[in-house]
Structure 1
């Protein structure tokens, strides 16, 4: 009875279950998947036989013909389906992480240095921003020493601290130019929940004549004005994801 049952199982696999080792397992899986797809359609028996031959090991004399033929549509789809599934899974995981980030009230992600065009825009930004998000505003003017270096440093820090919002505004556009004369620029203002928590006038004097993002980062961390670093890239495109 056991011999008959074993023979039945062997008949079901058409003698192809004898492949052993990693290569044999791959051949068996490929043959099973190709035949499963093929049996769901009305392809002629000749096509099924061709697919069966393509998925089975060939004799040494058949190798040149086998390596020289073009890949069929079924083979192409099966080879690339797992790769596409992996890309979809990465996108799904990333979306779940961003959703969880929002639900836990860590605030939105930014990553850029925003230009504020007016005093109204400045106030609107403070009012609309999430209550836990620190907002750093650089008040500057072109041609004043230290302003260009601070803008460049804040651009880099904005990318490294996406849960903080980094902004800049010309003193002449702020509607309060008399409060920001050239001698107090660059000025760095820091807000959280609409409240001013840091006010640094002539902030470039805190650094050497030539300073960089790391110097500004250390200065802000001394006062506890920067959030924890987080991995957050909301603007990343799908093509960039696929390239990873």
Structure 2
């Protein structure tokens, strides 16, 4: 009996085959062949898949699915890996959700705490403002006292002083450091006469400013200065000259008023502005001195 391809693949043992009486002769032959095969060490042989289906074996490049113990172990490992990844992703999502909820969700207690903090902050700001107000008031009071004490020591004049070559240096060097000294260099011309009249009015308005006049010929100035340089105003403070204005008649003309000279000196910062505390103290000081006939004293 010839073996079929299935018999070869399945390893069918032909010596266990029993035939009918009609094929007894053939069966004896086949049994004899089977016995010889067994006696000769023969048996079922393994046929590779490449010999059965060469085309499929040549085109296949993947891995086969294992269904034995190794396949079960690999499936279990893959399952545990996926389970760990899913657990990790779930924990990350929970952490992100908790973070967003902690930022966006506020309870009534949180609102009350926030309101209490705001109330405390506002109270602190009010206390700070009150403290600053008290500090500023105290600072302002001390400054006023210092200014009064300073003006108490400053002498009063209220008139225009005449100087000569000998008294000129002494009138400047020996004066109080806070006193502003305005010296008018003049000659007998209309512009200088107008300047002397203006300074007389300003001396009464600003008694703490020392107004003086000096003839140019007495100071031994040049004839050219006596003609073109007058009227001239020289301003001193603390022994130093801080301003010099020559030939003011060219700007003011021959006929001008005290308000013109006052505005000019205020513009350059040598006289206090009207309404300032210095101006008010100067005016009140002169009035007090005239009423009492004594030195000025601020309460």
So what's the TM-score if we normalise by structure 1?
A: 0.52
Instruction: Work out whether residues 217 and 226 of structure 2, in 8 Å CA contact, stay in contact via their aligned partners in 1.
Output: no
Can you list the C-alpha shifts for 1:13-57, whole angstroms capped at 9, x where unaligned? xxxxxxxxxxxxxxxxxxxxxxxxxxxxxxxxxxxxxxxxxxxxx
- Whether 2:172 is the aligned partner of 1:126: answer yes
Q: Distance in 2 between matches of 1:126 and 1:210?
A: 29
Higher mean Cα deviation, 212-221 or 197-206? 197-206
Count of residue pairs the alignment pairs up = 140
3-state SS of paired residue (2:190): coil
Q: Distance in 1 between matches of 2:259 and 2:187?
A: 22
The structure-2 alpha-carbon separation of the partners of 1:187 and 1:103, relative to structure 1 and needing over 3 Å to count, comes to closer
Any gaps of 5 or more consecutive residues in structure 2? 1-146, 273-277, 294-299
- Whether 2:237 is the aligned partner of 1:183: answer no
So what's the TM-score if we normalise by structure 2?
A: 0.43
Match of 1:112 in 2: 159
- Whether 2:218 is the aligned partner of 1:164: answer no
Alpha-carbon RMSD = 2.6
Match of 1:232 in 2: 285
List aligned pairs for 1:34-183, cutoff 5 A. 101=148, 103=150, 107-116=154-163, 118-142=164-188, 144-177=189-222, 180-183=225-228
Match of 1:7 in 2: none
RCO comparison, higher one (Cα < 8 Å, 6+): 1
Match of 1:51 in 2: none
Match of 1:52 in 2: none
Higher mean Cα deviation, 122-131 or 222-231? 222-231
Can you list the C-alpha shifts for 1:156-211, whole angstroms capped at 9, x where unaligned? 00000011100001111113345733111111100111111111111122224421
The structure-2 alpha-carbon separation of the partners of 1:179 and 1:224, relative to structure 1 and needing over 3 Å to count, comes to farther
Shift of 1:235: 4.6
Match of 2:267 in 1: 222
Which among 177, 184, 198 is matched to residue 243 of structure 2? 198
- Whether 2:264 is the aligned partner of 1:211: answer no
Can you list the C-alpha shifts for 1:96-125, whole angstroms capped at 9, x where unaligned? xxxx84555662111110001x22201000
